[in-house]
Amino acid sequence: MSSRKLHLALHPYGVGGPGQHGLWKDPRVAKNSSIDINYYIRQAKAAEHALFDALFIVDSQFINATYPAHYLNRLEPLTLLSAVATHTRHLGLVGTASSTYNSPFNLARRFASLDHISGGRAGWNVVTSFDTGTAKNFGLDEHLDYATRYGRALEFVEVARGLWDSYEDDAFPADAERGIFLDPDRLHELRHEGEHFTVAGPLNISRSPQGQPVIFQAGVSEEGRDLAARVAEGIYAPGGSLEQAQEYYADIKRRTAAHGRDPDHIKIFIHGGPVVAATDEAARRREREIHEEDNDLGRNLALLGRSFGAYDFSRHDLDAPFPDVAHLAEKGGRTAAAKIVERAAAERLTLRQVAETVGAFRRSPFVGSPDTVTDAIERWFHAGAFDGINLAFRTDEELELFVEGVVPRLQKRGLFRTAYEADTLRGHLGLPVPVNRHTRERQAAGR
């Protein structure tokens, strides 16, 4: 029996995001899934029944007509998760929110509210927004450059955490006999003045049972990896091959330790879209069918454009050399874009060839019979490739196949819990409850 336990999260697809553009055509998928709260509640209940750690909701704040169906029409994450919270008891609730296009006070208050509504199950996936068009939705002419976005993100998280410590745990005696609702000595202003933010505080909501929401992040670049190592408690990793996943895992754990943090207090999740069937052959056949359903040159061009700030590649000759768009990467998805430009130049690829590369079939390691998928998860887990998997399934039936076929096998091998042992997201992930900074200072001073 393994002492280290696997973590599982569920990422609902709705009517289909990148890589599942045609999902909305599936007769099993309701065409309003992405705006139907009952769809998310069903997904959350299924995940909780299977003892998953969390439900994960992605988001962005810019679209155009080329974007995937789910992106065109979906619910705002914190509103969605607040509704889901009232229909679940244990499942963690992780929402995506931009540090570039929000203010720390408002966002800290919203996540603290979700943490209270859920009884300590909230998590914040911190993103810096690489869609350059988002700027114009917030009254700005230009999207912030890469370094500024990450510097702002670090300060944003620091401010949010300071605001979440506005009240110490015993700030509200609510003593009717003495007429004392608040102990004013346990309320603290923040008085933050930094490069990007000036925030007085205090926040007008108390600490939750888990102290503070759990911070998630998805860092790929040097700046992203460093931000993750500094502040993240959960990471959504890029995945790739086993070797690439191992490299990323080891690098993040090493960086975390270098920042004076316990590497065990940062949990790394990779994306996983398992395809489970009665036999390996049937699962592989279904995997290929899924790819063919979504493989379309126009969609691949649009997906390619997102890395370059939603750039419209359709204006170029498909069979001419890949256009010079490297300058667009700085304010878009810089890491992915730089790799695309580098490869196109090195191999002298045309725009069509680059788009076909974006949509190329890539076999997943987590495809096959329940035994095969379980074997693969166990192998990657013990090889130091991840702490958990952020699972995505195209249909309820595919989720059910995983829950009924793979989860019991993971439990039998001692890799996954057989019952919830905690009520908070921090508890599920084995993360400590952060001590209020003012309480810590007071205790250190012997007061």
For residue range 123-177, list pLDDT tens digits in order: 999 999 877 788 888 988 888 888 899 999 999 999 999 999 999 999 999 999 9
Q: Residue 40's pLDDT band (boundaries 50, 70, 90)?
A: very high
Predicted local distance difference test score (pLDDT) of residue 333: 64
Counting Cα atoms < 13 Å in the Cβ hemisphere of 275 gives 18
pLDDT above 90 (res 432): yes
Q: Residue 258's pLDDT band (boundaries 50, 70, 90)?
A: very high
Predicted local distance difference test score (pLDDT) of residue 173: 95
Rounded to an integer, the average pLDDT of 239-259 is: 95
Q: Residue 1's pLDDT band (boundaries 50, 70, 90)?
A: very low
Measured distance CA(76)–CA(95) in Å, rounded: 9
pLDDT above 80 (res 394): yes
**Considering only CA atoms, which of 312, 299, 292 is closest in space to residue 355?**
299
pLDDT above 80 (res 2): no
Measured distance CA(399)–CA(274) in Å, rounded: 9
Predicted local distance difference test score (pLDDT) of residue 226: 93
pLDDT above 80 (res 19): no
Measured distance CA(317)–CA(322) in Å, rounded: 9
Question: Residue 158 has which token pair?
Answer: 């620091």
Question: Residue 388 has which token pair?
Answer: 């958990």
Measured distance CA(153)–CA(357) in Å, rounded: 32
pLDDT above 90 (res 311): no
Rounded to an integer, the average pLDDT of 420-435 is: 97
Higher pLDDT, 202 or 442: 202
Rounded to an integer, the average pLDDT of 434-445 is: 93
Q: Residue 358's pLDDT band (boundaries 50, 70, 90)?
A: confident
Strands 54-57, 92-98: pairing kind: parallel
3-class SS letters over 196-233: CCEECCCCCCCCECCECCEEEECCCCHHHHHHHHHHCC
Measured distance CA(227)–CA(255) in Å, rounded: 10
Rounded to an integer, the average pLDDT of 420-424 is: 97
Rounded to an integer, the average pLDDT of 377-383 is: 98
Q: Residue 429's pLDDT band (boundaries 50, 70, 90)?
A: very high
- How far CA 280 is from CA of 257, 275, 291, 369, 370, in Å, comes to 40, 10, 17, 5, 9
Q: Which CATH number fits domain 7-281+363-444: 3.40.30.10, 3.10.520.10, 3.20.20.30, 3.40.140.10?
A: 3.20.20.30
Mean pLDDT score of the chain: 93
3-class SS letters over 39-71: HHHHHHHHHHHCCCCEEEECCCCCCCCCCCHHH
Predicted local distance difference test score (pLDDT) of residue 331: 58
Q: Residue 217's pLDDT band (boundaries 50, 70, 90)?
A: very high
pLDDT above 90 (res 332): no
Higher pLDDT, 380 or 310: 380
Higher pLDDT, 145 or 47: 47
Rounded to an integer, the average pLDDT of 180-189 is: 97
* H or E, element range at 272: strand 267-272
Measured distance CA(240)–CA(362) in Å, rounded: 10
Spell out the domain ranges in the chain: 7-281+363-444, 296-358
Measured distance CA(436)–CA(212) in Å, rounded: 9
Beta bridge partners of 275: 367
Measured distance CA(90)–CA(298) in Å, rounded: 42
Predicted local distance difference test score (pLDDT) of residue 142: 84
Measured distance CA(395)–CA(402) in Å, rounded: 11
Predicted local distance difference test score (pLDDT) of residue 339: 84
pLDDT above 80 (res 99): yes
Predicted local distance difference test score (pLDDT) of residue 382: 97
Measured distance CA(33)–CA(263) in Å, rounded: 38
Predicted local distance difference test score (pLDDT) of residue 24: 94
